[in-house]
Amino acid sequence: MADTCGQVLLGTGLTVLSHPLMYIKVLVQVGHEPLPPTLGRNIFGRQVYQLPGLFAYAKYITKIDGKAGLFKGLAPRLCAGSIGTIVHSRVLQVGMCCKFFCVLLCMVQFIGRETKYSGVFSSIGTIYKEEGILGFFAGLIPRLLGDILSLWICNMLAHLINTYAIDDTMNHMGEIKNCSLAVTGFFASMLTYPFVLVSNLMAVNNCGLAGGLPPYASVYPTWVDCWRHLSREGNMSRGNSLFFRKLPAGKTYAVDQQRFF
C-alpha cells in the first residue's frame, strides 16, 4: 500500500511539472500555430525562418488565459494516471488518457475558445451522447500499437547492449544497465512517436471542436487514413520537437486562421 501511494504521489508530481509541455505539444500536434514564423538562427548559425518554440508558445497562452491556462486539462489527466497506477492496468490507463477523461479535448478547446468539455462527468455524458461507448476509446489502437512496438524495441536493444556491449566484470553494473535502459527507452519513443501523434489526432477527430474539424484538422474515417495523410504531407514528426522548429515544406502560413495550409 505504501509503495502504491508513493508511486501515485511521484506520478502526480511529475504529471504536474510536465503538463504545460504536453499541453503545448498537443496544440502543435493538431496544427494550431497562433504565432507567425520569425527570422532566427539554426544550430549551425545560419539565418532561417523558424516557428516560435516552447517558451514563446507558453508566453502566448499565459497572456490569454494567465498562468493557470497552462494547466488546462490537468485534473482529468491526474485521475487517469492515478487510477491506471492503482489498478495496474495499462489498457485502462491508455484508454482514459486518450479520451475517457477528456484530457485532450479540454486542451484543444483553447483553439476555438470553447467550453463544451468543462468537467469530467459532464464531458463523459457528452461523449457518450454524441459518439456512444466507442467514443471513449478513440485513438486507442495506434497508441497500443506504439506501446507494443516501443516495448519490443526497448527489450531488443537492452538485450543486445547487455549481451554484447557490457561485461559482467565491469564496475557499477546496475547503474550501467539502468542507463542503457533509459537510452533505449528514449530511442524507442523517438521511433514510435508517429503512433502517439496519430492517436492524439484521432482522439479529437471530428469531436465537434474547432481543433478537431477543418481547417485545423481533416476528418479521418480511420486512423490508417490519418497516418497516410500525415505521411503524404511529411508531418509524421509534427510536435515532436518544441525547439528549433522549422517551417513545414511547401506550406503557407495563414495569419487569420493561425495555421499552415
Q: Could you please report the per-residue DSSP string of 197-256?
A: HHHHHHHHTTSSSGGGSTTTS---SSHHHHHHHHHHHT-TTTTS-SSSEEPPTT--EETT
* pLDDT the model gives residue 97: 46
* pLDDT the model gives residue 57: 92
Virtual torsion, Cα 116, 119, 120, 122, nearest 10 deg: -60
Residue in the structure block whose three cell numbers are 494516471: 81
In angstroms, rounded to a whole number, what is the distance separating the alpha carbons of residues 149 and 86? 24
> What's the Cα-to-Cα distance from 247 to each of 28, 51, 251, 257, rounded to whole Å?
12, 6, 8, 16
* pLDDT the model gives residue 135: 77
Element (H, E) at 41: strand 38-41
* pLDDT the model gives residue 171: 64
> What's the Cα-to-Cα distance from 161 to each of 141, 155, 168, 188, rounded to whole Å?
30, 10, 12, 14
> What's the Cα-to-Cα distance from 70 to each of 41, 63, 190, rounded to whole Å?
27, 10, 25
The answer to whether residues 29 and 238 touch, using CB atoms and an 8 Å cutoff, is yes
Task: Split the chain (261 residues) into runs of 10 and give each run's mean pLDDT.
Answer: 67 82 90 84 75 89 89 74 50 46 80 81 79 79 90 87 71 68 85 93 88 85 94 90 78 75 74
The DSSP annotation for 153-172 comes to HHHHHHHHIIIII--TTSSS
* pLDDT the model gives residue 169: 65
* pLDDT the model gives residue 173: 63
In angstroms, rounded to a whole number, what is the distance separating the alpha carbons of residues 139 and 203? 5
* pLDDT the model gives residue 222: 94
- Bridge pairing between strands 47-51 and 38-41: antiparallel
The answer to whether residues 205 and 138 touch, using CB atoms and an 8 Å cutoff, is yes
Virtual torsion, Cα 206, 58, 71, 111, nearest 10 deg: -20
Q: Which three cell numbers stand for residue 60?
A: 502566448
In angstroms, rounded to a whole number, what is the distance separating the alpha carbons of residues 35 and 22? 18
Paired residues of 51 in beta bridges: 245
* pLDDT the model gives residue 91: 44
* pLDDT the model gives residue 93: 46
Task: Count how many residues are written for the chain.
Answer: 261
* pLDDT the model gives residue 16: 84
Q: Which three cell numbers stand for residue 145?
A: 500499437
Element (H, E) at 50: strand 47-51
